[in-house]
Amino acid sequence: MEPETRDHSTAFRNLHSSSGEMKLRKRKSTQYVIAQEKRSRRRDLLGENTYLVLFTIALRIFNCFLVQTSFVPDEYWQSLEVAHHMVFGYGYLTWEWTERLRGYTYPLIFASIYKILHLLGKDSVQLLIWIPRLGQALLSAVADLRLYSLTKQLENQEVARWVFFCQLCSWFTWYCCTRTLTNTMETALTAVALFYYPLEGSRSKNSVKYSLLVALACVVRPTALIPWVPLLFRHLYQEQRKLHLTLHHFLPVGFITFSLSLIIDRIFFGQWTLVQFNFLKFNVLQNLGTFYGSHPWHWYFSQGFPVVLGTHLPFFIHGCFLAPRRLNILLLAVLWTLLVYSMLGHKEFRFIYPVLPFCMVFCGYSLAHLKAWRKAALSFLLLSNVLLALYTGLVHQRGTLDVMSHIQKVCPRGPDPAPASVFIMMPCHSTPYYSHVHCPLSMRFLQCPPDLTGKTQYLDEADTFYLNPLGWLQQEFHSNVSLPTHLVTFNVLEKEIHAFLTSGNYERTATFFHTHWPERRTGSHIHVYERRLTSRVSTGGN
């Protein structure tokens, strides 16, 4: 009996020891995995692989330098021009600033950059142009990565990979994401905010972070709230503690953000101003934006949205049928945004840019389900978007930027510089201004403020000029002494103002390509005329 008992006892101890070793090994394995994850996180940036992050940043910087064309005047006149005026004391503030429709929070970002460059003695015109755009490119890269991370959480890495591909090769994103437009900032903040929004399946839910980003986007551009209306209502509807969410998250974030905006505007306007209300009153309640053009109600559905999506459109439609139901809220946000903007008379492609990242999610689902046709689809998307991005970024509407590089050479230099003045005879705000010249050169352009007094037959200075260019010039510059030294105009005016150019002894000194499709007031080229000094001496006494 004893040997048997001893054997059982030994076997029990061995079993106990064995199980203890097994537990110890399991514990060691768990600790090893945790340590590996920590080391992996140290190698990551923004929660993603370092190489992916660096690739995205490098691509957007490359993107920045490959966009050398102009899009809309707001890219300069509502951001860089205002910042230049804030820091250097000269620059032109458009009528929106005298009417207090715009806030100083967004230009303050670029003004801070300008001030740092000025203090360092590095405020060259090229750095003033490119540093703000590079900053915008970095923010857009962060937005791209956040969209990728969100999709990876919601679905899997394969779907996220295709969403990321669609986002990076979108021609309109390439065209806009490095520009100093309020719409660009609005889009980047919206994409990053979506990463923290409590979508089903997301592991990055943070009500404070996403509501703060949405509030900042609304400070930059009040219409940024439009895509978020369905999302905010959904969050509030599904939240168990609605009062807590409202009182402890939404209201404090909104109060702090808009109070900061109010204080900034109080400092620069010199009086208390709620620019967000003024902006909405002008563009939505009074609908005065139609002064700058209007389109039929269906324009976004028939033209705007298809153009912005480009060749992604069939994949977006396909993806809408494949995406899980939990993403219907994103589709609703897209549809809601299109409907709201359709009710406004003045329409532009850039207004719906903030919902483009939402659309890329559905395009990614489409590519993930295309097995046999995937290579053909990828080739089609890449080729079509790259060609369009390169054309719009390097060719279409580049003359208005190239001509400002030429005007930089007109700036007075040396101990006894010759007086110089420039008159830009183009549709108002066609070119950038002092932010792209950076010298106190005497410059003038045709004005075009809207009529805020209710006149029925109102014509701005630009409209009056184009009714009779030659007569307007002869009346405006009746004396040779008042003639500017340089004229800038589109080539379509050359025949009409030929007599004025001859009498003023102007000679064409430079020509810049602008676009293949000239409109009535513009042309395919921009001409620069210079008044010869010999004529100025001989006629100076007249």
Residue 212: Cβ within 10 Å count = 20
Cβ neighbours of residue 536 closer than 8 Å, sequence gap 6 or more: 480, 505
pLDDT band at 443 (very low <50, low <70, confident <90, very high): very high
Q: Does a structural domain hold residue 540? A: no
pLDDT of res. 24: 40
Question: Tens digit of pLDDT for each residue in 231-255?
Answer: 999 999 999 999 999 999 999 999 9
In a domain, 101, yes or no: yes
Residues 388 and 425 in one domain: no
Task: Give the pLDDT band (50/70/90) at residue 38.
Answer: low
Tell me which residue of 487, 512, 504 sits closest to 424, measured CA to CA: 487
Provide the pLDDT confidence category of residue 478 given band limits of 50, 70 and 90.
confident
For the beta carbon of residue 299, count every other beta carbon within 10 angstroms: 17
The answer to the question of residue 76 being in a domain is yes
Residue type, 107: P
Q: What is the pLDDT at residue 134?
A: 98
Q: Under a CB-based contact definition with an 8 Å cutoff, are residues 25 and 31 in contact? A: no
Q: Is the pLDDT of residue 117 over 90?
A: yes
Residue 22 falls inside a structural domain:
no
Q: Show which of 368, 395, 422 is a domain's final residue.
A: 395
Any domain includes 157:
yes
The Cα 500–Cα 423 span in angstroms is 14
If you average pLDDT over residues 486-502, what whole number do you get?
95
Distance CA 77, CA 179 (A): 12
Which residue would you say has higher pLDDT here, 2 or 314? 314
Residue 313 shares a structural domain with residue 415: no
Domain count, the chain: 2
**Mean pLDDT of the region 320-339:** 96
Whether the predicted pLDDT of 461 surpasses 70 = yes
Task: List phi, psi (to 5°) of 343.
Answer: -80, -15
Is a pLDDT exceeding 70 seen at residue 32? no
271 and 415 fall within a common domain? no
Q: Give the mean model confidence (pLDDT) for residues 111-130.
A: 97
Mean pLDDT of the chain: 89
- The predicted pLDDT at position 1 comes to 41
411 and 389 inside one domain: no
The answer for residues whose C-beta is within 8 angstroms of residue 338's C-beta and 6 or more apart is 300, 301, 305, 352, 355
Q: What is the pLDDT of residues 380-426, one digit of tens each?
A: 999 999 999 999 999 999 999 999 999 999 998 877 677 899 999 99
What type of residue sits at position 7? D
Mean pLDDT, residues 129-141: 98
Confidence of residue 466 (pLDDT cuts 50, 70, 90): very high
Task: State how beta strands 442-445 and 48-49 pair.
Answer: unpaired
Residue 323 phi, psi dihedral angles, 5° rounding? -65, 145
User: What average pLDDT does the segment 498-519 reach?
Assistant: 92
- pLDDT cut 70: percent of the chain above it: 90
With contact defined as beta carbons under 8 Å apart, do 393 and 175 qualify?
yes
What is the Cα Rg of the chain in Å?
30
319, 362 Cβ separation under 8 angstroms: yes
Q: How far apart are CA 273 and CA 284, in angstroms?
A: 18
Q: How confident is the model at residue 522 (pLDDT cuts 50, 70, 90)?
A: confident
Strand-strand pairing, 442-445 and 421-425: parallel
The answer as to whether 108 is a domain residue is yes
- Choosing from 355, 371, 395, the residue where a domain stops is 395
Q: Are residues 139 and 213 in the same domain?
A: yes
| Confidence at residue 290, expressed as pLDDT on a 0 to 100 scale | 76
Report which of 461, 518, 448 is spatially closest to residue 490, judged by C-alpha positions: 518
Does residue 20 belong to any structural domain of this protein? no
pLDDT of residue 31: 55
Lowest model confidence (mean pLDDT) among 131-145, 195-209, 383-397, 513-527 = 513-527
User: Domain range holding 234?
Assistant: 45-395
Same domain assignment for residues 403 and 391: no
Q: 496 and 465: one domain?
A: yes
How far apart are alpha carbons 118 and 87 in whole angstroms? 9
Same domain flag for 386 and 464: no
Contacts of 448 (CB under 8 A, 6+ apart): 427, 428, 429, 460, 461, 462, 463
- Other CB atoms within a 10 A radius of the CB of residue 70 amount to 21
Is there a single domain that holds both residue 263 and residue 171?
yes
**Whether residues 405 and 384 fall in one domain:** no
212 and 329 together in one domain: yes
* Type of residue numbered 133: R
Would you say residue 539 lies in a domain? no
Report whether pLDDT(39) > 60: no
Give the residue from 218, 193, 217, 219 showing the smallest Cα distance to 206.
193
Q: Is pLDDT larger for residue 184 or for residue 5?
A: 184
384 with 460, same domain: the answer is: no
Q: Is the pLDDT of residue 170 over 70?
A: yes
Domain boundary among 350, 372, 395: 395
- The more confidently predicted of residues 84 and 536 is 84
Measured CA to CA, the distance from residue 524 to residue 542 in angstroms comes to 37
Mark residue 91 as left, alpha or beta (left: phi above 0; alpha: psi -120 to 50; beta: remaining). left
What pLDDT is recorded for position 15?
A: 37
Alpha carbon distance 423, 484 (integer Å): 6
Cβ atoms of 144 and 183 closer than 8 Å: no
The DSSP bridge partners found for residue 46 are none
